[in-house]
Structure formats: C-alpha cells, structure tokens
Amino acid sequence: MAIFGRNKNDNAELIEQIVSELKKAQNNLGVTPMSSAAPYASTGTGAGGQGLIQTPGREATPLPRYGNAFGSQLGPSAPFIPAPLDPVFDDSGRALPRLYEYPVAWNLNLTTQNVPWTVLRALTDQCDIVHRCIELCISALVKMDWTFKVDEMVISEIMNEQNVSHAKAARIARDQYAEEINRLRLFWENPYPDLGRGWVEWLTEFLWQHYAFDGVPIYARYTIGKDILGFEIIDAPTIKVLLDNRGAVPTPPNPAYQQVLWGFPRGEYQATPEADGEFYAGPGDGEFLRDQLSYFVRNRRTWSPYGFSSVEEAVPAATLYLERQKWMNSEYATGTMPMTFMVTDSDEMDIRKLAEFERLFNDKLMGSATERHRVKVLPKGFHPQAMPTVDERYKADYDEFIIKRIGSVFGVSPSQLGVIPRSGLGGKGQSEGEMDQTETVSLKPMIGFITEVINSLCRRYLDADKNVTFSMQDSELVHNQLEQAKALQTSVNSGAKTLNDVRGELGLPLYEMPEADEPFMETPNGPIFLRGTLMINTSGETVEQKDETNGELLHVSDQESQGAQGESSQSESAQGQSPQGNQPQEPSNSSKEAHAELSAFNKFVKARATKGVWRDFNFNYINEDDAYELNQNAQAVIKGEGHTPPQAVQNAAKRALEWIADGKAGSGFTDVGRKRASDLARGASVSVTTIRRMKAYFDRHQSDKDSPKWNDPSPGKVAWDAWGGDAGYAWVKRIVGEEKAADPDPFYSSL
C-alpha cells in the first residue's frame, strides 16, 4: 500500500492527525447522554423538583461495520453510529430496545388518552344503543354457571400414571383438590369486602368497566391480620399507568400506577403480576402489602399501556347515530321546512302585510284539527303550493345500518337490538346462526379473558394452586340439551368416548362396572368393545379374537390354553419371580365360563408382558375380589413390583382371620380388611402400590396401640394384624423407606 512508501516524517504527521481526530471524538462523546460513567440515576433540581431524573451509563459500543457490507463505492453507506438513550450493558456496551416511541415526560402528562375518558363515559351512559349492547353482553355472561375445576393437564398426568380412564382420572383429581376448589368457590361467592353482595354484582361492575374503558384496575383489601378481605374495582379513568425508560410498566418497588383525583396524583401503587404483595414487602414487615394494584387489559397494544375498549371502537358509528337522533329531534321540534307555501301575485302585499297575514292564518289553524279541515277562502292572488316531501330522509334503513355497525362492535346480533330482516327466510335457522356468531365473536373471547383475570387474582392474592382453574360455561349457548344428548350418544356409540367419560362431563356419578371405562362400537348384534378383543403373541402378531358372547377364545383348544399358561409361567420365572406366588390362583367359581375366562386372562397377561404396559382385565364370570387380586398380582409381575410377605406377616394375618371368625373384629370391620388379611395369610404376592398403602395405614394407626384394651384383642388390634401386624409394619418400612411415606388411599380410609 502507498502508506508504507512514505518517509518517517510523513508517518509522524499522519499519526499526529489521527491522535488529533481521536481527541475530537472523545470530546464529542463527552456531551452525549451516555457519556457519564455513573451507574446510578442522579436527580436534578428543576421547577418543583418534578421528573428531573436522568439515568446515564457507560459509553455505548456500536456493532461492527465491515467494509464488505457497507464499504463499496456508490453503495448504501455505513449507518449512523447510534446514541442510546438508556443505560447499556457492561458486557456488550449496547442497550435494550425501547418498546415504542412514547411521548416525552409521559409520567408527567396526566391526560394521555386519545379519546377522553369523559367521552367514553358519556357514550356508555347516554347513547341508548351502546348502553343496550353492553347490557346484552353482560346478561349473557352473568347467567352462566361458574366453578373451579382441575386443569386438564393434571387429569392427563393421572391417566398416564395410574392407567385409568379420563372419567376416573377426573374423579381422582377432584377428590385430591376438593378442599382447594371449595375454598376458592366460597370466596368468590362474595368477592367484595362488604357483606351482602355477590358474584353477579361483582362481575357486572367488572364488565361495565371493561366494555367502557377496557382496562380494569382491581385493588385487594386486607384485614388487620393480613388476610384477603375482598377485591374492589377502581374506576379506570382515575388510574394513570406509568412507564419506565423502555416503555414498560415499572417493576417493584417502583410505582407502576398513580390515582389522579381532581387533576393531581393522590396515591401510587405497585404492579406484581407474578407474586403476592408480601414477596416485595421486604424482610417480613409487609411495607408494600397494601400498595398492590392489578390492572387488567384485554386489547393490549404495543404503542399504549391502555387498552382499546368496545365503546372506543364504536365512537365513529355512535357519533353518527347521535347526530342522526339530533337531526330527527330538530326536524320535529324546530324544523324550518313548512309543508305548504302561499304564492301571491298581488302588488299590494309588502313584507309587513305578508308577515301579518301569515301570523293570523297560522294562529287560526295551529292546534285545531277542526279549523284545518274547514274550507278557507284566500284573498285574491293567493295560490297554495304544497312542498314535496323527502321521504328517504325518514326511512329506517340508515338508522338500521348504524345500529348494525354499533352492534357488530360488541358482537350483538341485529335482532337483539330490534332490527328485523325484511328479506330471507329468517326464523329459527337465522336465530341459531346469529347465536353461533355471537358465541364465536363475543362470548368465548370474553370468557377466556374473565378466566385469566380470576386465575391471576387467585394465584397472586389467594395463594391458589395452579392446578386448579376457573371455569364458566353455558349449556344453552347454541345447542339445547336434546342436541347435546344426541352428540354424546354418537360419541359413545362410535367409541370416541366411554360411558364414564360422558357421565363425568354431565356431573353424574360414575359406573363401577369395568365396561363403563371401555370404548365400544354399537352394532346391530350389540356393542363390540375396542380393547381386549384381539390376542397378540410374543412376536407382536395378532393370533385370534376373543368371543365376547361367552368369554371364550375363538379357535383355542384346552391344550393351547394350557400351553399358553405354561409359557406365561416360564416367562414370569425368567423375570425372577416365584411361579407359585405370581401365577393367578384358581378362583372359587368352578363354572365352565370361569375356566375359559381364566384361560383368556393368561393369554392377556402374556400379551401385556410383551408390551410392558398393563391395564386391568375385564372379568365377567369371576367374582370381584378374585378379579381384583388377579389384576393386582399380574400388574406387579409385569412391572417387577411383586413382593412375597415374610412368614411372620403371614402368621399375623392368619391370627387376625381367627379373631375375625370369632367375631372380635367389631361391626366396623370392612370386607377390604378381610380380603387383605386373606391375601397376606396365603402368601400372595403384594405390589409396591399395596405396600405403600399398607405403610400409610400403619403410620396412621400406630397411636392406637396405646389403648389399654389393645391386647384383648380390641377391634384395632384385629385390624392391625389383618394388615400384617408389627412384622408387617417393619416389612413395609424396609421396602418403602422411612422417608417415603405414602399418601393414604381413600379406598382404605375407613379401616
């Protein structure tokens, strides 16, 4: 390059010029907003001391600008070096982007709304169509049933973990969260701090604020003991939303909202959307507990912290409607177009005489229908001339057009506002179509917004579990109960839902029979269940189908059944289990159907062992107790959870059976306890799930041993030994471990 061909003096001169330019650049940087190295904000002393807070930072570092991107001749040229307004990061030297270009000194301007609050309030109160639209929307929402339910994700997890149907998983989830659901429902029956008010009144007030202003401020009232007393809805026009440097709502402990009353801020509050007030209350002193405010906006926009309400959207159409009403009123009250003119060719009538004649003639006719129907004789030269009427101005088409525009903003159908179609079929079909449109455009989005608001308030202030969610529903939105019943019947007959799925949706008790949890298809010959009808061999191929009419396998001989049973025993022995402890025991039933069902069960277990996934077999001819034990043992074998009770546990169970036979168990002893004692006494394999339930029972009833009549034996002693006694307690603790106390099963809670 040519620079290397220069002499030493030229190089020294070039270096001096470069140093001089760098000094100039450094001096220029000294006057930029980011020139100060002070890491904290400094407060100036301006007029009144208001708003003069500056946040300087370290010098900004621009992104690289390589010549191959911007350095070509006649190219786009390199972009300007940015001068950040906000503090930059130490590691990059660059600042975060601002959310939008908000007006300077936003927090000092107390009137930043595009449409004044007074205009929105006046339209809401004084425009009859707007007012009626809001009333219709609120009526459709407050009449809905509401409750708290378990989230669907929790139900899905229970289905996967416990291998149960959706209906049973939903019932388990409801039982698990019943206390939390009842607590939340009891609170929201009256969410006001005052007594004698209810959910409908609170929701109505909330919706009036939302439809008029979109944003709804809600303030939580606390008791002296710092418990939630209720939620108050604050008038939205009194709340000023503040901004931080980036245009976002400031985070605590900075103020996020101010209440402006009579032209000046009278209070300020914090925004804590993801935690309750005590999270930011300092070291347990609750300093900011009563300074929290929730501000909910549905139509959130990037360029404004305020929302965009339905009333604000309807301002243009509502303005036309009001002007139209004003014109109509003027036409009737102070109109200037008479219906008849008198034309005269008389030269004697000057302006004064014409005015006098006009006054006398109108006074005689005004207010008297009789006089207007009498024959009138006019002076010479007077000829009446009727003025043409402009009927188009008085037709309802234009009014209906404006009403439809206003109603469409709120999702209200024209027929609800009194606009009846003049053409088309109309009737029921049109009404249902309008209801569908209203549900899609207005109700469903609003239900989602209300659900988010209630969930946020519950989790922020009431410490609600996130697995419980608010729910609103109205079964008469579109379909009546007959149509819903037909839809559910179709779902059941096609195998899309089970009987218990449908009963769970309807809030009815579930059937206990296993068929109610199995999907089936309805045929002319009866229902065909979709699961368990095909048998699969060890290679995964379908080999035969079970005959659902008599419980036997099609084309299965006794020799094949015994072979399958032997293969199952060998497979179980290969897994390290005792054939004697794991093989299904011979049931008490001796009928041919029961033997065939046992053969089918053996093949079923073999197929499930191949897949490695278990579900209970549906027994039709074996009694419920034996069926339960067979399923429990097989499940333990497949999952590798089977444990054989020690001899001391078996002896304790046998002793309990003798006491039960002698009538010493008491009237409260259940069949479940008797079944468990029988299983333990004969040394049947016990699954890990059952062992955990046993430990939960022992943990719960250990204090019963302090009774003076414990060794009589008392009913408590009989129940204790029925579960294995002291040896059983030591056995299950050794398996589960001291740190893994199992949750008590409601099925055994009565023991």
Residue 203 pLDDT level (bands cut at 50, 70, 90): very high
**pLDDT value of position 581:** 37
The b/e string for 698-727 (b: 16+ C-beta within 10 A; e otherwise) is beeeeeeeeeeeeeebbbbbbbbbbbbbeb
Tell me the residue type at 54: Q
Contact of 544 with 556, CB cutoff 8 Å: yes
- Tell me what the mean pLDDT of segment 386-411 comes to: 79
What is the token pair recorded at 237?
């026009």
**pLDDT value of position 528:** 76
**pLDDT value of position 281:** 39
More confident residue, 719 or 236: 236
Q: Which of 108, 128, 154 is the last residue of a domain?
A: 108
pLDDT for 655-680, tens place per residue?
888 888 877 777 666 655 676 788 78
Contact of 360 with 311, CB cutoff 8 Å: no
More confident residue, 698 or 278: 698
pLDDT for 253-267, tens place per residue?
899 999 999 999 999
In a domain, 7, yes or no: yes
Measured over the CA atoms of residue 496, residue 498, residue 499 and residue 502, the dihedral's sign is negative
- Give which of 302, 138, 286, 292 is closest to 217, Cα–Cα: 292
**pLDDT value of position 750:** 40
Cα 170 to Cα 150: distance, rounded to the nearest angstrom: 8
Residue 508 has pLDDT above 80, yes or no: no
- Give which of 747, 498, 518 is closest to 617, Cα–Cα: 518
Q: How many domains does the chain fold into?
A: 4
- Tell me what the mean pLDDT of segment 720-727 comes to: 86
Backbone angles phi, psi at 618, to 5 degrees: -90, 105
Q: For 440, which DSSP code?
A: I
Are 75 and 97 within one domain? yes
Tell me the residue type at 256: A
Q: Of 120-129, 291-300, 377-386, 465-474, which gets the smallest average pLDDT?
A: 377-386
Are 676 and 658 within one domain? yes
Q: Chain centroid to CA 1: how far?
A: 69
Contact of 677 with 657, CB cutoff 8 Å: yes
Backbone angles phi, psi at 53, to 5 degrees: -115, 125
Backbone angles phi, psi at 368, to 5 degrees: -130, 105
What is the token pair recorded at 196?
């004698």
pLDDT for 38-86, tens place per residue?
343 443 444 344 444 444 556 788 899 888 888 888 888 889 988 888 8
Q: Write the burial class of residue 38 (CB in 10 Å: 0-12 exposed, 13-18 middle, 19+ buried).
A: exposed
**pLDDT value of position 642:** 73
Contacts of 184 (CB under 8 A, 6+ apart): 148, 458, 462, 464, 468, 470
Q: For 439, which DSSP code?
A: I
Residue 721 has pLDDT above 80, yes or no: yes
In a domain, 394, yes or no: no
In a domain, 155, yes or no: no
Residue 450 has pLDDT above 90, yes or no: yes
* 448: number of Cβ within 10 Å: 12
Beta bridge partners of 2: none
Strands 216-222 and 257-261: unpaired
In a domain, 167, yes or no: no
What is the token pair recorded at 143?
């009449």
Are 549 and 630 within one domain? yes
- The torsion angle over the Cα atoms of residues 324, 327, 332 and 335, rounded to 10 degrees, is -160
In a domain, 697, yes or no: yes
Beta bridge partners of 341: 385
Q: Of 355-359, 374-378, 526-530, 535-539, which gets the smallest average pLDDT?
A: 535-539
More confident residue, 513 or 29: 513
pLDDT for 518-574, tens place per residue?
787 877 767 777 765 544 444 444 444 444 444 333 333 333 333 333 333 333 333
CA distances for 177 relative to 150, 174, 183, angstroms: 7, 5, 10
**pLDDT value of position 626:** 67
Are 506 and 580 within one domain? no
Contacts of 23 (CB under 8 A, 6+ apart): none
In a domain, 20, yes or no: yes
CA distances for 552 relative to 548, 588, 622, 626, 630, angstroms: 7, 18, 13, 18, 18
Q: Which of 639, 673, 692 is the last residue of a domain?
A: 639
Are 628 and 652 within one domain? no
Residue 172 pLDDT level (bands cut at 50, 70, 90): confident
Contact of 88 with 61, CB cutoff 8 Å: yes
Contact of 134 with 124, CB cutoff 8 Å: yes
Residue 449 has pLDDT above 60, yes or no: yes
**pLDDT value of position 585:** 39
pLDDT for 326-350, tens place per residue?
888 877 776 656 777 778 777 777 7
Tell me the residue type at 554: L
What is the token pair recorded at 628?
């339960």
Cα 25 to Cα 18: distance, rounded to the nearest angstrom: 11
DSSP H or E segment with residue 491: helix 481-493
What is the token pair recorded at 590?
């001796």
More confident residue, 515 or 249: 249
What percentage of the chain carries pLDDT values higher than 90? 21
DSSP H or E segment with residue 458: helix 444-461
Residue 458 pLDDT level (bands cut at 50, 70, 90): very high
Diameter of the chain measured on Cα atoms: 138
The b/e string for 179-212 (b: 16+ C-beta within 10 A; e otherwise) is ebbebbeebbebbbbeeeeeeeebbebbbbbbbb
Cα 577 to Cα 700: distance, rounded to the nearest angstrom: 31
Residue 584 has pLDDT above 50, yes or no: no
- Give which of 144, 236, 148, 131 is closest to 447, Cα–Cα: 144
Residue 210 pLDDT level (bands cut at 50, 70, 90): very high
Backbone angles phi, psi at 469, to 5 degrees: -130, 155
In angstroms, how far is the first alpha carbon of the chain from the final one?
A: 97
**pLDDT value of position 215:** 92
How does DSSP assign 530-588, residue by residue?
A: SSSSEEE-TTS-EEEEB-TTTSPBTT--HHHHHHHHHHHHHHHHHTT--HHHHSPPPPS
Are 494 and 549 within one domain? no
Are 554 and 538 within one domain? yes
pLDDT for 462-502, tens place per residue?
989 999 999 988 755 444 566 677 777 787 777 777 887 77
Cα 121 to Cα 315: distance, rounded to the nearest angstrom: 11
**pLDDT value of position 555:** 37
More confident residue, 287 or 309: 309
Cα 198 to Cα 204: distance, rounded to the nearest angstrom: 10
User: CA angle, corner 612, sides to 607 and 618, nearest 5?
Assistant: 50
Most confident of 336-350, 415-429, 721-735: 721-735
**pLDDT value of position 482:** 63
More confident residue, 13 or 453: 453
Cα 174 to Cα 507: distance, rounded to the nearest angstrom: 11
In a domain, 13, yes or no: yes
Contact of 511 with 499, CB cutoff 8 Å: yes
Q: Which of 597, 617, 639 is the last residue of a domain?
A: 639
Contacts of 308 (CB under 8 A, 6+ apart): 214, 299, 301
In a domain, 742, yes or no: yes
**pLDDT value of position 565:** 38
- Give which of 53, 49, 30 is closest to 40, Cα–Cα: 53
- Tell me what the mean pLDDT of segment 203-228 comes to: 92
Q: What is the mean pLDDT of the chain?
A: 75
Cα 430 to Cα 436: distance, rounded to the nearest angstrom: 10
Contact of 43 with 52, CB cutoff 8 Å: yes
Give a three-class secondary structure readout of 65-127. CCHHHHCCCCCCCCCCCCCCCCCCCCCCCCCCCCCCCCCCCHHHCCCCCCCCHHHHHHHHHHC
**Secondary structure (3-state) at 650:** helix
Whether the model pTM is above 0.85 = no
Tell me the residue type at 53: I
What is the token pair recorded at 26?
């450094």
More confident residue, 21 or 99: 99
Are 660 and 688 within one domain? yes
Q: Write the burial class of residue 746 (CB in 10 Å: 0-12 exposed, 13-18 middle, 19+ buried).
A: exposed
Are 51 and 104 within one domain? yes
Cα 436 to Cα 224: distance, rounded to the nearest angstrom: 48
Are 104 and 13 within one domain? yes
**pLDDT value of position 591:** 52
Cα 664 to Cα 716: distance, rounded to the nearest angstrom: 10
Token match 């390059």: residue? 1
Question: In terms of residue numbers, what domain contains 673?
Answer: 647-748
Q: Of 36-45, 233-242, 420-429, 508-517, which gets the smallest average pLDDT?
A: 36-45
Are 612 and 709 within one domain? no
**pLDDT value of position 35:** 41
Q: Write the burial class of residue 689 (CB in 10 Å: 0-12 exposed, 13-18 middle, 19+ buried).
A: middle
Cα 597 to Cα 53: distance, rounded to the nearest angstrom: 84
Are 633 and 584 within one domain? yes
What is the token pair recorded at 194?
């005052």
Cα 717 to Cα 704: distance, rounded to the nearest angstrom: 8
**pLDDT value of position 204:** 95
Residue 219 has pLDDT above 90, yes or no: yes
- Tell me what the mean pLDDT of segment 88-96 comes to: 87
Q: For 301, which DSSP code?
A: B
Beta bridge partners of 346: none
CA distances for 605 relative to 126, 414, 528, 580, angstroms: 74, 63, 21, 16
